[in-house]
Amino acid sequence: MNHLDTLIIGAGMAGLTAARLLTHRSESLALVDKGRGVGGRVATRRWGDARADHGAACFRLQGETQKLWNDIYPGLSLQDAPHELDPGAWTCPAGMSALPKAMAQDLPVELQQSIETVERKDEIWIARSKEGKIWTAHKILITSPLWQTADFFKTTQPQLGLEIQDLARLVEYEPQWTLIIKLPSPSQSLGAVYQKNPHPDIASLYDQGRKGLPHAAGLWVLHASQGFSATHLEADPSWVMDRMMTALRSLGWKLENAEAQAHRWRYARVKKPLGRSFVTFASAPGLYLAGDFCLGSQVELAAQSGWAAADAL
């Protein structure tokens, strides 16, 4: 068992930002994530030698969060995001996951630990993972989506779990199906490098080669439309891929020998945030919640929320 001053659950932008700030201030700190890598929804998937950004495509850091650069900028290569994505934003030529990886350097991150329960006993927070590890801490910052956070308390502190569910009802989350498509020849797409709403089931299509990602010629990222993603959230990934390939064929794409991978983002974006920088509870001293559900669905706003929570911690 590891006894800590502060435990942070979730190594996405909110958790990593908080950890970077607290690492100099907190006596002992750990960051736990269920993923195989850090970054959460700032995600890059490898496909052979190639890479595609299937989460956030670009980002901005301004105001207070820009101070993060003092720490991480020297080790991070950046370029202006292509104008069709977001003029004035940045992207990482090695893939967007280079940003969270640079932020996680020198931080005590434990990956592939999926937290199942959290509870407070004798003024100490106790977190247990599905993999059998236990952490105890004076303070705990949780950055997972609110519905998942509520589940941590369902059996241990049901009243607190219900309070978090009440908060989750105030937030509008949108799911998203995302596909990475590999064409045997780049010219088979017949399209511009970026297309918005080219089909009722497709919100956007983006050529990863355009972003300068290594070996990405012929790799496209497709985000399904909100309507399609919400209606078919529980569908089988292979069925979703078939539907999207049919939609692309109807647009004139030649898909012989094309391959695809699908990713279900259950809490992809926040349509309506809470409008508070972070959350605390009078009934649960030492518990802090942060993430993009607080201020809005952007890398920068998630970082701002983590920053504010760390300041309060």
Which residues would be at the binding site for ligand FAD (CB under 6 A)?
Answer: 9-15, 32-35, 40-42, 55-59, 114-115, 143-144, 148, 176, 178, 223, 265, 268-269, 291-292, 297-300, 302
**Rounded CA separation 106/93 (Å):** 22
Asked if 176 and 57 count as a contact pair (C-beta separation under 8 A), the reply is no
Q: Which is nearer to ligand FAD, 88 or 200 (CB)?
A: 88
Q: Which is nearer to ligand FAD, 188 or 262 (CB)?
A: 262
Q: Which is nearer to ligand FAD, 5 or 151 (CB)?
A: 151
We find the least distance from the C-beta atom of residue 71 to ligand FAD, in angstroms, to be 17
We find the least distance from the C-beta atom of residue 301 to ligand FAD, in angstroms, to be 7
We find the least distance from the C-beta atom of residue 254 to ligand FAD, in angstroms, to be 26
Q: Which is nearer to ligand FAD, 157 or 188 (CB)?
A: 157
The per-type count for the chain, helices as H runs and strands as E runs, is 9, 17
We find the least distance from the C-beta atom of residue 260 to ligand FAD, in angstroms, to be 16
Residue 208 is given by DSSP the state G
We find the least distance from the C-beta atom of residue 3 to ligand FAD, in angstroms, to be 19
Report CA torsion sign: 188, 205, 260, 247.
negative
Taking the alpha carbons at both ends of the chain, their separation in whole angstroms is 22
- Among all chains, which residue has been given the structure tokens 């069709």? 84
Angle between helices 299-312 and 13-22 (to 10 degrees): 40
We find the least distance from the C-beta atom of residue 256 to ligand FAD, in angstroms, to be 27
> Mind giving me the DSSP string for 231-294?
HTTTS-HHHHHHHHHHHHHHTT---TT-EEEEEEEEEEEEEE--SSS-EE-TTSTTEEE-SHHH
Q: Which is nearer to ligand FAD, 269 or 276 (CB)?
A: 269
Q: Which is nearer to ligand FAD, 129 or 188 (CB)?
A: 129
We find the least distance from the C-beta atom of residue 291 to ligand FAD, in angstroms, to be 3
Q: Where are the alpha helices (DSSP H) in the chain?
A: 13-22, 68-72, 98-104, 146-152, 158-170, 226-231, 237-250, 292-295, 299-312
Give ∠ CA 3-142-274 in degrees, rounded to 5.
155
Q: Which is nearer to ligand FAD, 141 or 183 (CB)?
A: 141
Number of C-alpha atoms within 13 angstroms, CB side, residue 2? 18
